[in-house]
Structure 1
Amino acid sequence: MNEKNFEYLKDQIKFTGFGQDLEAALKANLAKAQNEFRLSHTAQHGKDELSSSLHFKKSAQSDMYFFNSYDAALKKENAEQAIKQTFYINRQAGNITQKEAYNLLDGRAVNKDLISKEGALYNAWVQLDFKDTAQNGNYKFKQFSEKYGFDLEKSVAKLPIKELSDVNEKTRVLESLGKGNRQAVTFQQNVNEQRVFLEANPQFKTVTVYDQNNRRLTIDGLRQSEREGASQKQNEKKDAKQQQKADSDQTAPKTRKGKKVSV
């Protein structure tokens, strides 16, 4: 067995998001010196399950093996059928990690550095098109490059997100959204705080917001709620002042008026 090849593949598996649990199985399969083999991996994401089959093939010119691709199947809770896709491994850039594969199969977009056909590096959002498949059965990718005009940071800045006031928290939120995660944040409206979830939506150049019951919230609705909250707060202050004045009038001593006496 080629030890350097084992170390390389071990790290490649790890950094593609499959952890270290496959190391023993990888070593055992490399020792068999077969032309190709597969390793199986299962991950839980909340109540969803992502099953992956990693493909390895031996070089025709040497004893080196290559991690070429993996088949991913997402089984949603209560879903009858799994959603499937094959993700290919590029040794330069653009590899989809296991968690990113889950996010893509769950319908979200992921921001990646990609390699063009001419070999140039570029950045784009990618998202699976569930209405269009290739001949191999894979869903085709929709791409939204920087020229498309979606700016994640500007879109997030339009929302009353508490975490944006802290530089480190802001960076964490943006990086998480870039990986395709549904990110929990705190909306701060006047004195009220609300836990919500964000998803990057590059196709429509916006950020989608959900409440804790998975109901989609609109920006206009959030602004209306904020205005209503501010109006309610003003009314409460006004009522408090009126009540304070009334209490003051009731407790103040009354001055008696005497009769004028002529001398």
Structure 2
Amino acid sequence: MNLNNLEDLKDEMKKLGFSDPLIAKMEEHMKNDDPAFKLYDEVKANRGQVDITLHFKQSGQSDYYYLNRLEAVHNQGKPLEEGQKFMVITKTEEGKNIVKKLENVAEAIDFFKQQKGNSELAVGKDAANKAMLANMEEGKINYVSRDFKREFYSPPLPQTFWLDHGKGFSKEQAANLVQGRSVYRDDLLSREGTPYKAWMQLDTEKERDRQNNLTFRQFTDAYGYDVKTLLDEYKIKEMADPKKAEALETSLINGNRPLITVEKDGQETKMYLETAVRYGKLNFYAENGKPEKREQFQKETGLEMSNVFAKKMEQGKDKEVAHGQGMGV
């Protein structure tokens, strides 16, 4: 195992937001000299969870490993409980059970559908403590749990995010993008190699590309969306504290949906806040997910500022660019 390579990959994974235990798993695979391997992680979502898969491959000419992509998929079903795994239990011709544990629902469904004989897709801590999700006999599926049908027959498609020596969308950013939110990047390169900055959002209004990925909708700085300026328009308690204000801005540019404090009906109330870059707005949501009218939280000068911004954004729309995964993202 090349120790310099290990050190570089550890730095890349930390930069992308992955944990020390996951980094330790990577090191174990490298020690075993596995030619290719995957690592799995998850991020809690507003609904369900986002499953992350990291793809590692060893060079054909040396012992160097490369982390060249991660896949993120938003599974809106019920997240697994602590210690649970997906399992495909297949009965051999000799009557023995072969149990294969899988890390995420997409891979579990795909592996189960590949079986030819008698097999069961289940979830649980082990084969003795499981709940059946689907079953097949003689290669034909004869049962799918009612609560699992949507996931089983219409599994969400993963989005691939390409990485270059630790540069690219982080775990946090990728998870937010597949949930439909926008992320700001200040380290992008055009096809000609020119640096630029832009808000990035997956374009769900267009067909997926040949690799089955959504392309990006981009809003460069010329578009005029300035999250700090927008935050200053509203009576948000956290904005009174410079450190909290900075943390709030950072959270939003990474695509998160942070919890903030506003006044509603004379009382302090918690709300979720989210960028709406395409429309030049910030969106407010009650803790139960219900949208709230943003105007009720606006400062007296906020409306005037919004009108100025609207004109600026309209001028910048012509400069909006939409690129696919071929960009340096």
Residue in structure 1 matching 2:204, options 126, 130, 135:
130
Task: State the match for 2:221 in structure 1.
Answer: 146
Asked if 1:99 is matched to 2:172, the reply is yes
Question: Contact 2:17–2:172 (CA<8 Å) still a contact in 1?
Answer: yes
Separation in structure 1 between the aligned mates of residue 49 and residue 171 of structure 2, nearest angstrom: 12
Separation in structure 2 between the aligned mates of residue 47 and residue 14 of structure 1, nearest angstrom: 26
State the shift of 1:205 in Å: 0.8
Question: Contact 1:83–1:105 (CA<8 Å) still a contact in 2?
Answer: no
Task: State the match for 2:27 in structure 1.
Answer: 27
Task: State the match for 1:89 in structure 2.
Answer: 163
Residue in structure 1 matching 2:259, options 170, 184, 198:
184
> Per-residue CA shift, 1:184-205, capped at 9, x if unaligned?
1111368532211110111111
Q: Which has the higher contact order (CA 8 A, sep 6+)?
A: 2
Is there any run of 5+ residues in structure 1 with no aligned partner, and where? 224-263
State the shift of 1:150 in Å: 0.8
Q: 1:88 to 1:221 in 2, by over 3 A?
A: same
> Per-residue CA shift, 1:82-109, capped at 9, x if unaligned?
342111102374x111121111111110
What amino acid does structure 2 have at the position aligned with 1:111? Y
Higher mean alpha-carbon deviation, 16-25 vs 78-87, is at 78-87
Question: Contact 2:263–2:297 (CA<8 Å) still a contact in 1?
Answer: no
Q: 1:34 to 1:220 in 2, by over 3 A?
A: closer
Normalized per residue, the structure richer in helix is 1
Task: State the match for 1:4 in structure 2.
Answer: 4
> Per-residue CA shift, 1:198-233, capped at 9, x if unaligned?
10111111111111221112234556xxxxxxxxxx
What amino acid does structure 2 have at the position aligned with 1:103? N
Question: Contact 1:160–1:189 (CA<8 Å) still a contact in 2?
Answer: no
Residue in structure 2 matching 1:165, options 240, 247, 250:
240
Asked if 1:36 is matched to 2:109, the reply is no
Task: State the match for 2:124 in structure 1.
Answer: none
Q: 1:193 to 1:83 in 2, by over 3 A?
A: farther
Separation in structure 2 between the aligned mates of residue 13 and residue 55 of structure 1, nearest angstrom: 12
TM-score by length of 2: 0.62
Question: Contact 2:12–2:165 (CA<8 Å) still a contact in 1?
Answer: no
Q: Which runs of 4+ in 1 moved over 6 A?
A: none
What amino acid does structure 2 have at the position aligned with 1:179? N
Separation in structure 2 between the aligned mates of residue 49 and residue 189 of structure 1, nearest angstrom: 30
State the shift of 1:46 in Å: 6.0
Separation in structure 1 between the aligned mates of residue 44 and residue 166 of structure 2, nearest angstrom: 28
Asked if 1:77 is matched to 2:151, the reply is no
The aligned length equals 223
State the shift of 1:140 in Å: 0.8
Task: State the match for 2:65 in structure 1.
Answer: 65
1:185 is paired with a residue whose SS is strand
Residue in structure 2 matching 1:121, options 174, 185, 195:
195
State the shift of 1:33 in Å: 3.2
What amino acid does structure 2 have at the position aligned with 1:97? S
Task: State the match for 1:112 in structure 2.
Answer: 185
2:158 is paired with a residue whose SS is strand
State the shift of 1:73 in Å: 1.8
2:72 is paired with a residue whose SS is strand
Separation in structure 2 between the aligned mates of residue 46 and residue 106 of structure 1, nearest angstrom: 8
Task: State the match for 1:228 in structure 2.
Answer: none
1:12 is paired with a residue whose SS is helix
Separation in structure 2 between the aligned mates of residue 23 and residue 189 of structure 1, nearest angstrom: 45
- Give the superposed CA RMSD: 2.3
Is there any run of 5+ residues in structure 2 with no aligned partner, and where? 79-149, 299-329
What amino acid does structure 2 have at the position aligned with 1:91? H
Question: Contact 1:107–1:128 (CA<8 Å) still a contact in 2?
Answer: yes
Q: 1:191 to 1:43 in 2, by over 3 A?
A: closer
Q: 1:92 to 1:75 in 2, by over 3 A?
A: closer
Q: 1:195 to 1:157 in 2, by over 3 A?
A: same
Question: Contact 1:75–1:83 (CA<8 Å) still a contact in 2?
Answer: no
Higher mean alpha-carbon deviation, 37-46 vs 69-78, is at 37-46
Separation in structure 1 between the aligned mates of residue 25 and residue 232 of structure 2, nearest angstrom: 46
What amino acid does structure 2 have at the position aligned with 1:159? Y
